[in-house]
Amino acid sequence: MSPLVLYILAGIVLISVLAYFLQEKFIFKPEKLKADFKFVYDIPFREYFFEVEPGVRINGLHFHRENATGLILYFHGNSRSIKGWAKYATDFFISITMMLYW
Write the CB contacts of 23 (distance below 8 Å, at least 6 apart in sequence).
none
| Residue 7 confidence (pLDDT) above 90 | yes
pLDDT band at 78 (very low <50, low <70, confident <90, very high): low
| Residue 79 confidence (pLDDT) above 90 | no
Domains in the chain: boundaries: 1-29, 31-101
Q: Output the pLDDT for position 93.
A: 64
Mean per-residue pLDDT, 73-80: 70
Instruction: Write out pLDDT tens, residues 14-71.
Output: 999 999 998 887 777 777 778 788 888 887 888 888 888 998 888 888 887 777 777 7
Instruction: Name which of 57, 94, 61, 97 is nearest 76 in CA terms.
Output: 61
Q: How far apart are CA 69 and CA 46, in angstroms?
A: 19
